[in-house]
Amino acid sequence: MVTIDLAARAALPADSENSSRALAVLRERLAVLHDGDGRLPPERDLAAELGISRRALRRALEVLEAEGLIWRQQGKGTFVGNRPSVAGDLARDLAGRTNPVEVFEVRLHVEPTLARHAALRATQHDIAHMRRLNERIRAADDDDSRELWDEALHRQIAQSARNALFLGVHEIVDEVRRDEAWRSLRVRARNDAARATYVAQHDAIIDAIAARDPAAAAAAMSTHIRTLSHNILPLAGTEVTLADV
């Protein structure tokens, strides 16, 4: 954790601009302010370092939290990034009990349903965001980025379905898939041809959602998940073909 040394500190007027100034500094320095666990200094310490009132700091932190850049919990601290999913414990438990075939079976039923609902409920903003995410997948040149954007795209589709419980279900499946062995399988299955196929399939899904065609969206997502299973399951030592819906 780096201590901020504000040379102009004494020159800061104690006025309503303190929150704005803190906000600017924090935006710039967030990545270096946090420790190994992503934790920012305690509010009282950070306010003293910035030479502003804790209240002003809190106003800045509230903005950053609303933007999803940090999360805060009473008694625990302030952290950069997204709040950890409550699904973590359950997903770990389930990861130990399930297998790749079962996971694909669930995805094959849940994700087309989510795409179907998204076709009726996604906003134009949602759809534009999906397209941007798929563009990022296309442009990515390392596996970490592909994983990140792929996951974000699937989550965006799930969010566009506008059903909190289904989104919770989707989060569980996502957490199970975050297991390192799972990730390794996906990476090994991903060559140039596969990548192009996935991006094209994402486009087909997004097009169907944009066209407000639930059946086409569900079918496109079903095709995508099936393709994934065909590519991944053999690497998991499994030759099962999943039953048609």
Partner DNA sequence: ATCGTAACCATTGGCGGATTGGTTCATACA
Partner DNA sequence: TGTATGAACCAATCCGCCAATGGTTACGAT
Stretch that binds DNA, among 46-54, 93-101, 145-153, 207-215 (CB under 7 A): 46-54
Let me know: does 118 contact 170? Beta carbons within 8 Å. no
**Closer Cβ to a copy of itself, 2 or 165, answer by number:** 165
Q: Out of DNA, a copy of itself, none, which partner does residue 73 contact, by CB within 5 to 8 A per kind?
A: DNA
Token readout for 112 is 């087309």
Neighbours of 150 (CB within 10 A): 20
* SS3 of residue 71 by DSSP: strand
Q: Which of 25, 38, 58, 136 binds DNA (CB under 7 A)?
A: 58
Label residue 179 left, alpha or beta by phi (over 0 means left) and psi (-120 to 50 means alpha): beta
Q: Which is nearer to DNA, 70 or 108 (CB)?
A: 70
- Contacted by 93, from a copy of itself, DNA, none: CB < 5 to 8 Å by type: a copy of itself
Does residue 78 bind DNA (CB under 7 A)?
A: yes
Contact with DNA (CB under 7 A): which of 26, 33, 52, 232? 52
**Counting contacts by CB under 7 A, is residue 56 touching DNA?**
yes
* 146 CA to centre of own chain: 12
Please say which residue, 63 or 140, places its beta carbon nearer to DNA: 63
Q: Is 77 in the site for DNA (CB under 7 A)?
A: yes
Q: Which does 227 bind (CB under 5 to 8 A by kind): a copy of itself, DNA, none?
A: none
Is the distance from CB of 22 to CB of 56 less than 8 angstroms?
yes
d(CA 224, CA 108): 9
Q: Which of 23, 26, 33, 40 binds DNA (CB under 7 A)?
A: 40
Work out whether 3 is an interface residue with DNA (CB under 7 A).
no
**Residue 39 dihedral angles phi and psi, to the nearest 5°:** -90, 135
Q: Which two tokens stand for residue 49?
A: 């370092």
Burial class (CB in 10 A: 0-12, 13-18, 19+), 13: exposed
| Contact positions vs a copy of itself (CB under 8 A) | 86-87, 89-90, 93-94, 97-99, 102-103, 105-106, 109-110, 113, 117, 120, 163-166, 168-169, 172-173, 176, 243
According to DSSP, residue 216 is labeled H
**Closer residue to DNA in complex, CB, 41/214:** 41
Half-sphere exposure in the Cβ direction for 232 (13 Å, CA):
25
The CA-based angle 201-187-31, given to 5 degrees, is 100
CB of 209 to a copy of itself, least distance (A): 16
Q: How far is the CB of 81 from DNA (least distance, A)?
A: 14
Q: Which residues bind DNA (CB under 7 A)?
A: 14-16, 18-19, 40, 42-45, 47, 52-56, 58, 61, 72-78
